[in-house]
Amino acid sequence: MERSAGAGAVSAPAPVTVLAGPTAVGKGTVSAAIRARYPQIWLSVSATTRAPRPGEVDGVHYRFVSEEEFSSLIDSGQMLEWAVVHGRNKYGTPRGPVEEMVAEGRPVLLEIDLAGARQVRESMPDARFVFLAPPDWDTLVERLVGRGTESAEERERRLETARVELAAESEFDVTIVNDTVERASDELARLIGVRDLT
Ligand code: 5GP
């Protein structure tokens, strides 16, 4: 495994890159930076049963679907992977668009949870698996329970989840440390084989 936080040689780009990591590490922020700064990379649009948040656009940030639509995507084999995240909503990667982009030779990025990454490892062993890590444990704790509005039990539950999720790092090909969003997204883009256009 390469643990890289800056320079360092990387091997040839894979057609599909999977970005995963612990809750609250900032995967969403890093992938939003990729979307904004590296339009050459195609960021998969997940289907989800959760409701849109203000500012989220259907078909851009997510495909917002009903429980029935989500089930029929699974039943018809159209999901590359899917998971229930945080015990609440379902999220999944529609297979068709990923395969189309790969066929076109466009680099593909999936930003998904750990359970989803494990499924992709089974079905797409050629993908590259990138673990987004916090700079240190305290930073992750700060992001997880920073506002201090949770009960002691909820706080302990989240910290235990974070410990388990951090232990998954060894399953991944490469680790990128999310010290700053800009640096981490630049490193990810370089790994994917794409250069800054600016
Ligand atoms: P949010 O609801 O905050 O947008 O996302 C919550 C979590 O869902 C994030 O950890 C994100 O990585 C995960 N997620 C988003 N899309 C997918 C997907 O298609 N598959 C899986 N397995 N997880 C996803």
CA gap 144, 165 in Å, rounded? 13
For residue 123, what are its two tokens?
């079905």
Question: Within a domain: residue 198?
Answer: no
The domain in which residue 122 lies consists of 2-192
Q: For residue 165, tell me if it sits in a domain.
A: yes
Nearest C-alpha to atom 12 of ligand 1 is from which residue? 112
Q: Could you tell me if the CB of 46 is within 6 A of ligand 1? A: yes
Residue 2, SS3 per DSSP: strand
Cα-to-centroid distance, 86 and ligand 1 (Å): 9
Q: Does residue 51 belong to any structural domain of this protein?
A: yes
Nearest-angstrom CA–CA distance, 80 and 22: 21
Ligand 1 touching residue 21 (CB < 6 A): no
CATH of residue 44: 3.40.50.300
Q: How confident is the model at residue 90 (pLDDT cuts 50, 70, 90)?
A: very high
pLDDT tens for each residue of 9-65: 456 778 999 999 999 999 999 999 999 999 999 999 999 999 999 999 999 999 999
Residue at 73 is within a domain: yes
183 Cβ inside 6 Å of ligand 1: no
- Does the Cβ of 80 fall within 6 Å of ligand 1? no
* Encoded tokens for 53: 């948040």
Is residue 93 within 6 Å of ligand 1 at its C-beta? yes
Residue 197 lies in a domain: no
Cβ of 83 below 6 Å from ligand 1: yes
Which residue, judged by its Cα, is nearest atom 1 of ligand 1?
28
CB 107 within 8 A of CB 13: yes
Kindly state whether residue 20 falls inside one of the protein's structural domains. Answer: yes
Report the C-alpha gap between 141 and 158 in whole angstroms. 9
Q: For residue 121, is it within any domain?
A: yes
> Given a cut of 60, is residue 75 above it in pLDDT?
yes
Q: Is 92 in the pocket of ligand 1 (CB under 6 A)?
A: yes
Report the atom number in ligand 1 closest to the C-alpha of 61.
4
Whether the CB of 111 sits within 6 Å of ligand 1: yes
What token pair was written down for 104?
A: 């076109």
Total domains in the fold of the chain = 1
Mean predicted lDDT score pLDDT of the chain? 91
Distance 7 CA to ligand 1 centre (A): 29
Residue 37 domain-assigned (yes or no): yes
Query: pLDDT tens for residues 154-167?
Result: 888 889 989 999 99
Query: 3-state DSSP call for residue 14?
Result: coil
**CA distance readout (Å), 135 to 75, 110, 189:** 40, 22, 19
Per residue in 101-118, pLDDT tens? Answer: 999 999 999 999 999 999
